[in-house]
Chains A and B, each alone.
Chain A
Amino acid sequence: MKRVSIITLFAFIFFYANAGAIKVVTTLTDLRSITELIGGDKVSVTSIATGYQNPHFVDPKPSYIISLSNADMFVTVGLDLETGWSPQLLSSSRNTKIQKGSAGYVDASDGVGLLQVPTAANRGEGDIHIFGNPHYWLDPLNGKVIARNIANGLERVDPSNKAMYESNLQIFYKNIDDKLKEWQAKMAPFKGAKIIAYHNEWVYFEKRFGLQIVDFMEPKPGIPPTPSQLVKVINEVKPNGIKVIISSPYFATSSSDVVAKQTGVKVLTMATSTGAFPSVKNYFDVFDYDINQLTAALK
């Protein structure tokens, strides 16, 4: 009985403590993680997508509208990554505070140096993004830009805590800088290592950590691997000294396994977002996990 009372008390305290927090909804878990680090106990954050699902293809379940309708702030990756699901959810939310152009709308891509911005939009090239490759959070330095955008958003909707958000932002910057040195030191011996990726979502990671993606399992973005593409990849492995195919939790590994069986390369399922695996609990863990995986496989 006593235990029940204590649990009830804590539940009561937790409920009312959160009731005054700034309610933030993010599209991806990485944005949630960074928002939690910047907002601290002043925010209550939920993410629509999980860390282990394909961010291009999240089902716009009406249940997400409940949290959006009550949100003070909405954070999106932008660059049309979520174009198939988030605009519909936003307009159904009936919440003016988080519509595009409102104070509570945060496009985390503002100010990010974009890669692979196409010069012509042609769907014959597959599922390309006309504003540039949207997987920019996989460069930890872009994490700093995201954090700045999120802090700006929090300061717009909750100016009374600006000092705290700025302080947390500086801590986040320092942590990224410190961790980046550690990550780059680990990756330095493998600078220029050639790898294969399943989908074109690693360009920012590749550039930051000095890898060289030679080819993709998908013949074109969004097109599943074809037999001819597998043959092409198999023929690229030995001449390029490729040791690894990197994939994501939401892609089937069967075609990569075929290449592995034929060539002996390792297939790594990497973390593309916070929560991809149980041990990947925050934005920093994404890089810890991936770099540990990669360095072990590239040795």
Chain B
Amino acid sequence: MNRKFKSIYIHPAICLLSILFATVNLKAQTTTDSTAADSVLLKQIEAQMQAAPAEKPSGTQTRSSLSFNPDIGVIGDFQGSYISKGEKNFDMYLNETEISLQAVVDPYARADFFLSFGRNPETGKYGATVEEGYLTTLSLPAKLQLKAGKFREAVGRINPTHPHALPFIDLPNAYVNLFGEEGLNDEGVSLSWLIPNKAFYQEVIVQTTSGFSESPAFARSEGNHFVYLGHLKNFFTLSDNATLELGITGISGPNDSVRITNIAAGDLTYKWKPVAMNTYKSLTWQSEFYFSHNNQTANISTNAIGLYSFLQYQLAKRTFLTGRYDFAEKPYNSSIKEQAYSLTWGWYATEFSKMEVEAKTTDDNIGSRFYQAWLRWIFVIGAHGAHQY
């Protein structure tokens, strides 16, 4: 319906609304009667008020100087760890130093870079890598948004999140089995479309990447095969205090057997946060399920499943408790099954530092039960961008 058409047919509505708004405005405007109009006090106030509206309050200051430098932040991730098996049981290390550089490029795009100085757990040596570096458009038509560069791909909830922002220190077994400790983080392009659905939020994301990250499930192809990913995100507002997110993901790409691995994933997240006291109380229940079909030869393929589910409860303004269950089959040998339980206590001192302690027990059907524990201290200096909801 065009604007001209509307203007012809909405006259009665405009009249009604004008009356309605006029009534509201009248109500707002007729509250100024004062019975003390002649008092000396009021005259004094009136005298003061004559100059007041035009001038700024005394003692005010001007703005700080601005620059075109990007927002720069540095995130430190110090960890201590314990494992009940092997030769070396205790360790401590600066797990990662992440430098973020973020700014709007021009009216058409913004850029985000996350440079990581990480520690190789086997050699203990530090190396630099571009964890993410991508350009995001701000001006495509039809509610489209294009991203190009190296980025964490849109698999469910954990993969797009930087590890320091997760409510536990280790990563779920099923996730690591498929995507590795670094996650599915690859070079390519991503196109997302905000579906014009006014009832609830829906976003479709399609991504094509090179496979360079060489996660356990995928490998960089010597030929022209890429990793393809599609994700549908559905977000429902159940009430002012509760939301539900349901996502489905499909991924297909070359594996290290020079064949194709297909993965289907689903994620479900329920959050409860009372609006008025959202810094004091919250509860999150989040689960992801993965199914992988790995073609190893022309005749041999392996199906494997994995899942995790965690419940996080905010005990107090700065204290969180998270319990997680993991189940995973090895994608190349589904007869190997793992089950794990973990509990993480987190103390979020401020927006810029938090301390967490996690204990985990793991069983699998080829070895004996073993235990792990971690201590993590995350700290941020400089700018710190918002995290996803």
Contacts and interface: CB of A to CB of B under 8 A. Distances in A.
A14 B14 CA distance: 9
Nearest to A126: B350
Interface string A87-99: 1100110101001
Given A17-B17, A91-B136, A115 B57 contact: yes
Contact of B49 (A96, A171, A180, A282): A180
A297 interface: no
A112 B143 CA distance: 34
B315 to A, nearest CB: 14
A144 interface: yes
Interface string B214-238: 0000000000000000000101010
Given A50-B240, A101-B107, A181-B45, A224 B317 contact: yes
Given A16-B6, A96-B139, A178-B32, A141 B237 contact: no
Contacts of A174: 29
A127 B138 contact: no
A247 B110 CA distance: 39
Shortest beta-carbon contacts, A-B, top 7: A113-B56, A113-B60, A178-B32, A17-B13, A117-B61, A13-B13, A62-B201
21 contacts: A14-B17, A20-B10, A41-B18, A53-B275, A59-B278, A62-B233, A65-B194, A66-B198, A91-B138, A94-B140, A94-B194, A114-B60, A123-B381, A139-B57, A141-B52, A177-B53, A185-B34, A185-B41, A249-B276, A250-B278, A284-B31
Interface residues of A, number: 74
Interface in A15-62: 16-17, 19-20, 37, 40-41, 50, 52-54, 57, 59-62
B385 A222 contact: no
Interface of B: 1, 3, 6-7, 9-10, 12-14, 16-18, 20-21, 25, 28-29, 31-32, 34, 36, 39, 41-42, 45-46, 49, 52-53, 56-57, 59-64, 104, 107, 110, 136, 138-140, 143-145, 194, 197-198, 200-201, 203, 233, 235, 237, 240, 243, 245, 273, 275-280, 317-318, 350-352, 381, 385-386, 388-389
B32 to A, nearest CB: 3
A163 B52 CA distance: 25
A207 B52 CA distance: 13
Interface of A: 13-14, 16-17, 19-20, 37, 40-41, 50, 52-54, 57, 59-63, 65-66, 69, 83-85, 87-88, 91-92, 94, 96, 99-102, 112-115, 117, 123, 127, 130-132, 139, 141, 144, 168, 171, 173-175, 177-182, 184-185, 188, 204, 207-208, 222-224, 249-250, 252, 282, 284, 288
B63 A131 contact: yes
B284 to A, nearest CB: 11
A5 to B, nearest CB: 15
A60 B235 CA distance: 12
B388 A88 contact: yes
A50 B277 CA distance: 12
A52 B351 CA distance: 21
B25 A40 contact: yes
A127 B351 contact: yes
B307 to A, nearest CB: 24
Given A14-B17, A54-B279, A284-B28, 8 more contacts: A20-B7, A40-B21, A40-B25, A139-B57, A173-B53, A181-B42, A222-B351, A252-B277
A210 to B, nearest CB: 11
